[in-house]
């Protein structure tokens, strides 16, 4: 099938494109390269444009469509930044998605897989978060994703546009072949920052944000999921829409929580050295614990994560960061 991947030059999108290509699908990438990298686009043409520019979307669909499936990763995604710049997050994540949805409706495209987030749940009320938990985001990033989830239900009701929202917990790791991997400017994700602190030595001491959360060791607890397992879930979600009509949402995670200090300890085992760190002030909008119950995704999509051991996940990232290709 022919698949449009919006945000395909980014971390998750590029891994998605590699999986699609290896499965024999044709890929078209649309990205404004604000956070993605042209060098990460290896498995199909890159169309440079912005979801905020309707003319860019019209040109994309007229010149490269029609598409059998559309996968939407384009979003601003920094929690702390969203608290300081909510206007940018609502404009890019909500208005940009509305532009895409309207273009899909106008051109008869009715299958979308949307990149959502565990941040829609805010501070969870239970240890393992399933799809029945209330969505009460505590930052504009999470709120912007919740708004799109609600919009997608309305677009199905009004226009028959079928969708699956996939709520990630913490995406991590890298392509096992180390062709592509994680790179952000600035980098805010824990595992790459841990590994970069090792590579850069005393020049970049690791920062741990907060040590007084209501957790076993005082640091945030998260559910870490390998990037290839995320990509496989998107492909399965697209196939799910071949036989299911509706606006669906599934949680994706391994179902195990690791604190920041747990991850540092696992990384020390991978790199074979101690990793020093400084405790910094907690970041605004960070909930103490986010761990997924992904039973519904496994049941409905037939999804099964292949990377379930945290040290093996970190090892794929370590191979990438030791020899980054872009």
Torsional sign, CA 289, 196, 13, 76: positive
Structure tokens that stand for 296 in this block: 């519904």
Query: Does the active-site annotation cover 213?
Result: no
C-alpha span between 241 and 109 (Å, rounded): 12
Kindly give the residue spans of alpha helices, DSSP state H, lying in the chain. Answer: 11-22, 54-64, 79-84, 86-89, 96-107, 140-159, 190-200, 227-243, 260-271, 295-301, 310-322
Q: 208 Cβ partners below 8 Å, 6+ apart?
A: 219, 260, 261, 264, 277, 278, 279, 280
C-alpha span between 114 and 325 (Å, rounded): 28
Enumerate the β-bridge partners of residue 222. Answer: 258, 290
Enumerate the β-bridge partners of residue 167. Answer: 116, 251
C-alpha span between 307 and 285 (Å, rounded): 28
10: enclosing H helix or E strand: none
C-alpha span between 30 and 59 (Å, rounded): 11
Q: Choose the catalytic residue: 90, 141, 155, 248.
A: 141
C-alpha span between 299 and 162 (Å, rounded): 19
Task: Give catalytic residue positions.
Answer: 141
């Amino acid at each position: 099938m022919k698949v449009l991947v919006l945000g395909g030059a980014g971390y998750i999108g590029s891994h998605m494109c590699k999986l699609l290509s290896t499965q024999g699908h044709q890929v078209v990438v649309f990205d404004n390269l604000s956070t993605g990298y042209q060098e990460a686009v290896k498995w199909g043409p890159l169309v440079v444009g912005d979801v905020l520019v309707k003319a860019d979307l019209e040109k994309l669909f007229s010149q490269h469509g029609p598409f059998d499936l559309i996968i939407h990763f384009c979003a601003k995604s920094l929690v702390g930044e969203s608290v300081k710049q909510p206007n940018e997050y609502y404009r890019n994540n909500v208005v940009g998605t509305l532009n895409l949805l309207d273009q899909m409706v106008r051109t008869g495209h009715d299958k979308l897989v949307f990149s959502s987030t565990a941040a829609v749940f805010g501070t969870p009320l239970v240890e393992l978060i399933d799809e029945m938990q209330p969505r009460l985001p505590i930052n504009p990033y999470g709120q912007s994703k919740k708004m799109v989830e609600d919009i997608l239900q309305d677009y199905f009701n009004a226009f028959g546009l079928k969708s699956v929202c996939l709520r990630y917990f913490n995406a991590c790791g890298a392509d096992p072949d180390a062709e592509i991997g994680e790179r952000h400017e600035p980098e805010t994700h824990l595992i790459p920052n841990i590994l970069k602190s090792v590579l850069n030595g005393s020049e970049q001491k690791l920062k741990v944000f907060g040590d007084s959360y209501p957790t076993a060791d005082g640091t945030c607890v998260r559910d870490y999921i390998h990037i290839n397992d995320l990509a496989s879930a998107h492909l399965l979600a697209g196939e799910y829409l071949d036989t299911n009509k509706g606006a669906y949402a599934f949680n994706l995670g391994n179902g195990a929580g690791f604190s920041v200090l747990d991850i540092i300890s696992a990384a020390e085992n991978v790199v074979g050295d101690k990793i020093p760190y400084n405790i910094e002030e907690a970041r605004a909008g960070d909930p103490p614990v986010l761990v997924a119950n992904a039973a519904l995704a496994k049941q409905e999509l037939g999804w099964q994560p292949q990377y379930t051991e945290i040290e093996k996940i970190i090892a794929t990232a370590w191979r990438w960061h030791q020899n980054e290709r872009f």
